[in-house]
Amino acid sequence: MKNLTSAYRGALLGLACGDALGAPVEFRRRDSFEPLTGMSSGGCWNLEAGQWTDDTSLALCLARSLVEKQGFCAKDQMQRYWRWYSEGYMSCTGDCFDIGNATHRALARFNLSDDPWAGDTNPSMSGNGALMRLAPAVLAAHGQQTLIWRWVIDSTRTTHASPDCIDAALVFANILDRVISGESLRSVLMNPEHPGLPKSTAIQRILNGEYLHLKREHLGDGFYVIEALENALWACWQGEDLESTLLLAANLGGDADTVAAIAGQLAGAAYGEEQLPKAWLKKLAWRKDITDLADALLALSQQLEAA
Ligand SMILES: [Mg+2]
């Protein structure tokens, strides 16, 4: 039986650690920088070692909303994302210093219309900005299959409603949920199938397990949602433990923080909190708040399951 406390904490702390690890090399071309070996400072946001970016801020907004609303409230989630954008809510620096295009446009639309279903359905708007914050929706709904699909789709389409964004979220949620249920990471990665998704879409290359055979130099930069997922799953497959998995992901460069944040959600849940290097956790900003939110998401999922 899987230790759920360790898996839930691992997922959220893994997300934040991946984000903080990759932040110093975000936007850098692969192999154009000294390989990362741990938490470091700098990068285009000039962060201190252990500080994280929009990925973690938005995941914490989503987690806090799920916990305080004791369930899914799209409007409350978007209000918190707006507060992050306008006031620096849930930012470890106190400011929103980076925001993706699709999230920015969705928040602007929400601010005018008050309609939380503000994600663009245009296929060209297929960034990774909803996938990077997804774990809290899966953690809260774990144990209830139909609830998971609904919350995963709905928590994605508030800001990212393109078919590729929705497909990527469903496939990643299925993988993450199976790992939390106790299936081994390797077995899930060898069979990432998700019944019910169309066979002709971009997600098919993930479902076919192409990342199991891809060479590092053939991976994309990770800004496109399908590539972000592919790169993260590649790192999870290649990594021997949690530390090496997140370093492999962050050292890909490009959208390094987000790819490592996605890998961190999954690998963190699979290996558990205990496998995160102590030196990383010591530096990680808001470690206690993140741990407490993970525990609160576990309590919420157990309440929902019992209801
Ligand atoms: Mg980021």
Q: Is the dihedral of CA 138, 141, 143, 148 positive or negative?
A: negative
Cα of first residue to Cα of last residue in the chain, in angstroms, is 22
Rounded-to-integer distance, Cα 118 and Cα 138, Å: 21
pTM over 0.85: yes
Q: What's the gap in Å between 54 CA and the centre of ligand 1? A: 5
CA-wise closest residue to 185 among 273, 270, 244: 270
Give every CB contact of residue 135 below 8 A, 6+ residues apart in sequence: 11, 12, 15, 59, 176, 265, 269
Q: What's the gap in Å between 26 CA and the centre of ligand 1? A: 8
Domains and CATH numbers, the chain: 4-36+47-119+131-306 (1.10.4080.10)
Output the tens digit of pLDDT for each of the chain's 307 residues.
679 999 999 999 999 999 999 999 999 999 999 999 999 999 999 999 999 999 999 999 999 999 999 999 999 999 999 999 999 999 999 999 999 999 999 999 999 999 999 999 999 999 999 999 999 999 999 999 999 999 999 999 999 999 999 999 999 999 999 999 999 999 999 999 888 887 778 999 999 999 999 999 999 999 999 999 999 999 999 999 999 999 999 999 999 999 999 999 999 999 999 999 999 999 999 999 999 999 999 999 999 999 8
Q: What's the gap in Å between 273 CA and the centre of ligand 1? A: 22
Q: Which residues surround ligand 1, an ion (CB under 5 A)?
A: 53-55, 257
Q: What's the gap in Å between 221 CA and the centre of ligand 1? A: 14
Q: What is the pLDDT of residue 1?
A: 66
Q: What is the pLDDT of residue 72?
A: 98
Q: What is the pLDDT of residue 196?
A: 81
Q: What's the gap in Å between 21 CA and the centre of ligand 1? A: 11
Q: What's the gap in Å between 307 CA and the centre of ligand 1? A: 36
Q: What is the pLDDT of residue 110?
A: 98
Q: What's the gap in Å between 109 CA and the centre of ligand 1? A: 21
Q: 64-84 burial, b if ≥16 CB within 10 A, otherwise e?
A: bbbbeeebbebebbbbbbbeb
Q: What's the gap in Å between 305 CA and the centre of ligand 1? A: 33
What DSSP designation does 284 have? -
Q: What's the gap in Å between 223 CA and the centre of ligand 1? A: 11
pLDDT (tens digit per residue) in 243-293: 999 999 999 999 999 999 999 999 999 999 999 999 999 999 999 999 999
Q: What is the pLDDT of residue 209?
A: 95
Q: What's the gap in Å between 257 CA and the centre of ligand 1? A: 5
Q: What's the gap in Å between 52 CA and the centre of ligand 1? A: 7
Q: What's the gap in Å between 124 CA and the centre of ligand 1? A: 20
Give every CB contact of residue 213 below 8 A, 6+ residues apart in sequence: none
* Contact indicator for 151, 81 with CB cutoff of 8 Å: no
Q: What's the gap in Å between 304 CA and the centre of ligand 1? A: 31
Q: What is the pLDDT of residue 307?
A: 87
Rounded-to-integer distance, Cα 22 and Cα 168, Å: 21
Q: What's the gap in Å between 199 CA and the centre of ligand 1? A: 31
